[in-house]
Homo-oligomer: A and B are copies of this chain.
Amino acid sequence: MNRDRNELHQVGVTLRVILFTIEDDQLSVVVTKRTIEPFKGSYNLPGGFIHNNESLEQAASRIVQELTGDTHLYTEQLYTFGDPDRDTNGWWITVAYFALLPQDMHTHAPFRINPSCALLPVEKLPTLAFDHATMIEYAVNRLKAKVQYTNIAQGLLPEKFRLTSLQKTYEIILNKPLDKRNFRKKMSSLGLLQALNEKEISGRHRPATLYKFKTKEQVFFD
């Protein structure tokens, strides 16, 4: 370690973001179409370089903001991928982050306007460039795990939501149906939610109580 910077091998560092949101009752991810070789025409994950004097977290947030227009979205470091053969075009290390975009915020996000961007359901992805399919797999697994012992699900929900929407979010991430009464009992016992004095009427049926998470901080339970 005790060497001068000049001895450093020329490994490049990039950053990629797996931006999740729920669209059409499916967990989906933002990808961009490559315009150059290798993998020209294929989709890959959005990303970029780390700017000077920027932390990894800041770089990830910046890219998320470029895509969504929003700062303060939930963003978490996922894993660092560094196989020398993962990119045929030189030697790259990629730090991957994943981020969560609330359901109600993806209609007018910048990535919607950009024609080279697409929002694809994770269950029906085409072949992606490089090892990006692996990255998404890692991210989905992390999300599946954390939804069960943290309040991470709020990153995908609007500020105010119905319990049914919360349950649906869990079901989509976990990819399995949940029991309504048990789900509500569990949520209530965790004490993370606050019922609001507001109802949402959305059709000819009983109006739903709206809830919000008491805190935006990450909470671990179990």
B83→A55 contact, CB < 8 A = yes
Which of the residues B9, B14, B93 comes within 8 Å of A52, measured between beta carbons? B9
B5→A50 contact, CB < 8 A = no
Top-4 shortest CB links A-B = A56-B82, A80-B80, A55-B83, A8-B12
Q: A5-B90, A8-B12, A12-B8 are in contact. Are A80 and B56 (CB under 8 A)?
A: yes
Query: What's the minimum C-beta distance from A83 to chain B, rounded to whole angstroms?
Result: 5
Can you give 23 contacting A-B residue pairs, CB < 8 Å?
A: A1-B14, A1-B44, A1-B47, A1-B48, A1-B49, A2-B36, A3-B49, A5-B10, A5-B90, A8-B12, A9-B49, A9-B50, A11-B13, A11-B50, A13-B13, A50-B82, A52-B84, A52-B91, A53-B91, A54-B84, A55-B82, A55-B83, A56-B83
Q: In the complex, what residues of B have CB within 8 A of residue A8's CB?
A: 12-13, 49
Q: Could you give, for residues 175-209 of chain A, a 1 whenever the CB lies within 8 Å of some chain B CB and a 0 otherwise?
A: 00000000000000000000000000000000000
